Each structure stands twice: as C-alpha cells, then as structure tokens.
Amino acid sequence: MTRQRTPTLIFSCEHATNHLPDQYRNLLAEEIDRLNTHQGYDPGALDFARLLAVRLSAPLFAGTVSRLLVDLNRSPANHRSPPIRPRSDLPLALKEEILARYYLPYRRQVEEAIEGNLRQEKTVLHLSIHSFTPVLDGVHRTADIGFLYDPDRAKEKEFCGEWRAALAARDGRWRLRSNYPYRGTSDGLVTALRKKFPAQRYLGVELEINQIYPLDRKADWLRLQHQLLESFVEVLQMQNK
C-alpha cells in the first residue's frame, strides 16, 4: 500500500438494534418474533463498533430502529430489497414518514461527516460494521470474518488485505475471507457513498462478523474483538512508517 498519513476514521453500524417504536408495532404485528433474530438486527455489531469508536476516539453513527422497519443499508433504487419492504397495505405517506424520520437523517449524517473531512483535504476510512447469521437457508457460511471492499478501488483492496494478514498472524484458526458472505460491491451504504466520493480520498469497507461468536461463544467473542481491534490499529500505524 502506498504510505500516507493515517486516514480519518468514521464508523457506522446500520443494523445496530432491534428496537421497534411503539407507534409502528402494529405494522409488524405478525413479525414480532423475528425482531430477536438476524432479520431484526446484527447481533454483536454494535458491541464491536462501540469498542472501536471508544478506543480510537472516532465518531460512530448507529441505527436506532430495527431493519424490519427500515433497512438503513439499502438504497431506494434496490427494487429486490428496498429500505422498506413492499407491503400492499402500507400507505405511501407512511413509508415517506418512516424514511424521513429514520433513513434520510441517518444517511445524511454519515455523508456530511465524510464531506466535512474531505473539504479539509483529509482521506477518510469509513468502516461499516455488520454481522451475519452462520446458517442461511440451510447453507452454512464458511467464514468467521468477511472483509468487503470494491476490488477496483486499490486502496480498499490493499487495506483489507493487510488487515486480514495482520489478523491471521495473531491466530491462524480464524476463517477469514474477502468479499464474503456478500460481494463488496453489492447494494449498501458504502457502495452508495463510493459513487459520491473519489477512490483516492474515500475508503469504504464493510466488516462482516459471524454471529456465532457474540451469540454462542462468549470467550472467543472477546478474543476476536480484541484481535480485530489490535490488527486494525496495526495496519493504521503501518501507514505512518
């Protein structure tokens, strides 16, 4: 990687919570039991996002409602999986209300934070933190950590490669994969922001963590968080050498 001053850090966690405001509970009356599953939020993602933000004194933007109500990581142009899933009985005015109350302010805050740093001639590393269910539709996912990036944006690819190598050096038992369990260019917040900001100044990376650790393997989860943080800091420090 071409060495440069350490980039400004911005962390986000789109699926941070399974909170459902009371005024919208009737909309999801038949889906309430899904709130505590991976369909309702990303278990563990907010824990690690907060750890990063506190240890590195960086801003964290976190969603405040369940993805079942509105998915902050989806674009309006995504017709297969839009921010608000199609419901024949949901009035357009109500959809617009939910978007205006939760979706648009969240996306605007993250974008404005990035723009503010770019105006100061800074390079921004935006890490969007997520977790994934270990089994989806009967298929077992074969990774503990996924590093998602755009292969055509060299700085993202190189940063993720170095982070993956630094983590592997700490414990070779972790199953680490690139652009898995999703493509780094699939619809998401960082994918949308790449269209707005230049590759030399904006690095958008999505981290995917296997939910088996925060849900079922607490000791390993603590170790994994520590090693993820430690290896992330190592790669940042390498850029100043």
User: Is it the case that residue 3 has pLDDT exceeding 50?
Assistant: no
The whole-angstrom separation of Cα 154 and Cα 146 is 18
The fraction of the chain above a pLDDT of 70, given in percent, is: 97
Q: 72-98 pLDDT, tens per residue?
A: 999 988 888 899 987 667 889 999 999
Which fold is adopted by the domain 8-238? Aminopeptidase (3.40.630)
- Residue 80: left (phi > 0), alpha (psi -120 to 50), or beta? alpha
Q: What is the band of 218 on the pLDDT scale with cuts at 50, 70, 90?
A: very high
pLDDT given for residue 1 in this prediction:
42
The whole-angstrom separation of Cα 13 and Cα 34 is 19
CA end-to-end span of the chain, whole Å?
A: 12
pTM value? 0.95
pLDDT given for residue 88 in this prediction:
61
Which range is least confidently modeled, 9-18, 73-82, 213-222? 73-82
Domain residue spans in the chain?
Answer: 8-238
Longest CA span, the chain: 58
Q: 155-192 pLDDT, tens per residue?
A: 999 999 999 999 999 999 999 999 999 999 999 999 99
Q: 126-157 pLDDT, tens per residue?
A: 999 999 999 999 999 999 999 999 999 999 99
pLDDT given for residue 241 in this prediction:
65
